[in-house]
Amino acid sequence: MAQRASRTCGILLHPTSLPGPHGIGTLGAQAKAFVDFLHAAGQSLWQILPLGPTGYGDSPYSALSSFAGNPLMIDLDLLAAEGLVDPAELSASPRSTDRVDFGAVVQHKVPLLQRAAQRFLLHASPERKQAFELFCYEQRAWLEDWALFSIVKSMHEGKSIHQWEEALKRRDPAALDRVRHDFAEQIAISNVVQFFFYDQWNAVRAYAHSKGISILGDMPIFVAYDSDAVWVSPREFQIDQNLVPHVVAGVPPDYFAADGQLWGNPLYDWPYLAETGYAWWLARLRHALNQADIVRLDHFRGFETAWEVPADHPTARHGTWVKGPGDDFFNALREHFGGLPFVAEDLGLITDEVLALRDRHGLPGMFVLQFGFNPGEIRSHAPHRCIRNSVVYTGTHDNDTTVGWFDALPQASRRLVQSYLGTSGATIHWSMIRAAYQTAANTVVVPVQDVLGLGSEARMNVPGLLGSNWSFRLVEQPHAAAAAHLRELAELFERLPS
């Protein structure tokens, strides 16, 4: 793992947002070029969003698997260099713009990946075959289950697990053996595609480490209902015998959504998980820490109390707070991992009990500077409020860009920002980045959109709304002038890697 200085800085950019050909950011040359930019800019962290395969809505926070990687991130040019993709096949790739057209990418890329996997199985060198076999052995706890889930879901025309035929829904051994027999080639192809993903991601991560860059990963506290986790491990969740949840997760109304956010995820059966020593969670976090060096625990407050909503309610307005696993869970994690390499996403309606849980276990929380400039309120996210053991953001993937946020501010809030930061607002993004770097916080992370001064058109996500979320892309690598400015700030405020 790359060594981190006591005061660090980094940039938030999901791999799908990288520039390059073929319609979507990937784990090839452009990922390494971004690492080079981070190094030139004096950064020591690259924060990403969850890496799992996405389903309806394309949200990385609603992945189809807790362990599989997103095949859409696989770099086709690397496969072509390996002789697994015919370069002529790439000519029909979706046009690359500042947005990802996920539907077009899926339609073009998935068949190419399947053919590449078939070629690998037939023609790979002994060394590559050995690497693949080692991967299959090391990932055996989840790899076949992911393939089976994908195949059975396809057999049922993409329907949710509760709509599958009984024998397959309940994982009857004889029914699963029939799938293994009838779809042996498809299972092998699925395994190879996952090998492609992790082979490329591990190469990117190793390259980042060689440049002194650590990866800050991200893990949603909840899994998607329509995912392999619920099918493979239903006992871990509050669902009935038909694999249907009675209650689902969300958050009550807050500054992101007036009706709250109805996520629809199944809630955990924490007493049962405690009886197992949190074995499922330990496996999930072990895997996450093989992908990243530090993991942001999304919706940390759910470990103290979670918002439980009846499954038939149309919004999250009417729910109940229910207790989470609390100290027992984090004590188990510390014993297993020998420490807690996690960041607590402690945004939203946070109670003293949540903060106390965070602090008892020494976890850094988050400050978002955009939340620190509301006149007449306690400005708990203002730069002067940021504490040492924390991660400070100008904004997150759920916020508007800093330029878009500033442009939309009421006059009173805008005047407060201008007065506080001593700026006219002409380059508000640099004023906010400077303020973040000045704070006492050990770590600062800035979305790449703010580094480039992009407006609302570059926003990554609007919580609670379906549409073009998650599709933002760079059209080129961040420029050298931005790297120079970031490095200057990192040096000025003692955030350069040691």
Q: Which residues are catalytic?
A: 298, 345, 398
Measured CA to CA, the distance from residue 400 to residue 391 in angstroms comes to 18
Closest to 26 in 3D by CA, of 453, 396, 474, 478:
474
β-bridge mates for residue 372, sequence order = none
Yes or no: say if 398 and 406 are a contact pair by the CB < 8 Å rule: no
Q: CA 91 to CA 351: how far, in whole Å?
A: 54
CB 213 within 8 A of CB 1: no
Q: Taking each helix axis from N to C terminus, what angle separates 184-210 and 173-182, rounded to the nearest 10 degrees?
A: 80
Q: Containing H/E element for 323?
A: strand 320-323
Task: Answer for the pair 94, 23: CB distance below 8 angstroms, yes or no.
Answer: yes
The alpha helices in 126-227, defined as continuous H runs, are 126-138, 143-155, 166-169, 173-182, 184-210
Token pair of 384, please? 């002067």
SS3 of the chain: helix, strand, coil, percent, to 5: 45, 15, 40
User: Nearest CA to 200 among 375, 25, 64?
Assistant: 25
Beta strands in 59-177 (DSSP E): none
CB 339 within 8 A of CB 392: no
Distance CA 470, CA 460 (A): 5
Distance CA 17, CA 46 (A): 13
Distance CA 268, CA 64 (A): 17
Q: Which residues contact 22 (CB under 8 A, 6 or more apart)?
A: 76, 77, 90, 93, 94, 96, 105, 108, 109
Tokens of 163: 């709509």
And the tokens for 426?
Answer: 């002409």
What is the dihedral sign for C-alpha 86, 92, 93, 97? positive
DSSP 8-class letter at 409: S
Q: How do strand 294-298 and strand 214-220 relate by DSSP bridges? A: parallel
364 backbone φψ class: left, alpha, beta (φ>0; ψ -120 to 50): beta
Give the C-alpha distances (Å, rounded to integers) separating 357 from 4, 142, 365, 421.
Answer: 25, 31, 11, 33
